[in-house]
Amino acid sequence: MNSLAPKIKLSNGQAIPSIGLGTWRSRESDAERAVKDAIDVGYRHIDTAFVYENEDEVGRAINAKIAEGIIKREDIFVVTKLGGIHHDPQLVEHACRKSLSNLGLVYIDLYLMHFPVGQVYKGDENVHGTAELSDVDYLDTWHAMEKLVDVGLVRGIGLSNFNAEQTERVIQNCRIRPLVNQVECHPGFNQKKLIAFSRHHNIVITAYCPLARPKPDQQWPPFLYDETAKKLAQKYQKTTTQICLRYLLQLGTIPIPKSVTKNRIEENFAIFDFELRDEDMNIMDGYHTGRRLVPFLAMSRHKYFPFNSEF
């Protein structure tokens, strides 16, 4: 078996592996195979969500590896997320139980509120919701999520796509603190201010889109394809992808790169045997543009839309 990733201690005592497999847009057999491959490689942190519509496949892969004796349930850290259609406090436990049923698990290690803006509920099958947004206060949703910890359905709870001000509001009004905020984070949008804020509050940043959805035909993003990136990769005898992920690790985030290709899954994991020097971290900092890839524009008119703030 490959060696495992180091773990990061969360504020409630849980230990989360410092890299995870992202599964957004990993569908059906691809998702199941990717999770199995990732577990074989050494990943012990798998990230999914209700709206990804692949919890069934993710759960099937995890349970297959448990049945094979490769892992025990307690070895794997499973993250899923409360969808926007389930923000009504009366729907939160129902949504969590639905995710548990999909996953075939009796508890979730970390349950995140996927976005601070809710959508009007029109049935579970309407996974992605409609353009009709709800006015449910995310604090009320959070208080319902706290009860999931009380009854043992989830071990910990956290946020996703929350800005600093919204996170602060949850901290000031919660009984159970958020452990994690999962946000877009890559060298082009490095979130250094939000990382610093979160560290101050003992909240860990998970980095989604850590490779910024590469477009090889366009040689984009530059931090994977330009000459500077290639020279850095040569210096450390690593790939530009590994340099990028190592940079995010050293910023203090947990990257969750998505792939369904085994050699890519292996490549993304091989980032624990080297360290970027300070001057090379500074070079990577230079790729920051402040531009998001995932702007959630359909939500932008809502009072709880998070991306109008600086961070």
Catalytic residue, candidates 52, 138, 247, 287:
52
List the beta bridge partners of residue 182: 160, 206
C-alpha 227/C-alpha 34 separation (Å) is 31
Please say if 52 is a catalytic residue: yes
Residue with tokens 């349930």: 73
List the beta bridge partners of residue 258: 22
- Other CB atoms within 10 A of residue 75 CB: 13
* Cβ–Cβ < 8 Å for 110, 16: yes
Which are the catalytic amino acids? 52
